[in-house]
Amino acid sequence: MADRKSIVTAALLILAAAQAPAFAAGDAGKGQGVFKEQCAECHSVEAGRNRKGPSLFGVLGRAPGSVADYEYSDAMKANAEAWSEARLNDYISHPRRVVPGGKMKYDGLDDAGDRADLIAYLATLH
């Protein structure tokens, strides 16, 4: 019985992994351009320099709502999941859906390639 349970568990894990969306690697050089075009009006990439939005320096791996000297919405502060590539991808795609009640006034970046490039650029900022 234990062997059958192990086989079923392994099969379910394999199926789940096969259906999980893979995050496409982007081009950081192109991502810098996407940042300038889509994000720079509100965000800085310099450590400690917040604008309308918090600095995005070191955003990957950081807890949401954790940049000093920036006043986050309660909705953003309530998020506990660190900013991974996949989470950033979801957030950049649909900010209000991922963090309902957040204060970012951005409709989202539809193009998956642009999002991948942007996230590759943000990953260089550390």
In a domain, 31, yes or no: yes
Supply the pLDDT for residue 20.
41
Place of tokens 């991948």: 116
Contact indicator for 125, 58 with CB cutoff of 8 Å: yes
In a domain, 15, yes or no: no
Q: How many domains does the chain have?
A: 1
Place of tokens 């234990």: 2
The residue segments making up the domain with residue 89 are 26-122
pTM: 0.80
pLDDT digits (tens, 9 = 90+) for 53-111: 999 999 999 999 999 899 999 999 998 899 999 999 999 999 999 999 999 999 999 99
Q: Distance between CA 30 and CA 121 in Å, rounded? A: 8
In a domain, 56, yes or no: yes
> CATH number of the domain that 71 lies in?
1.10.760.10
In a domain, 20, yes or no: no
Supply the pLDDT for residue 25.
86
In a domain, 16, yes or no: no
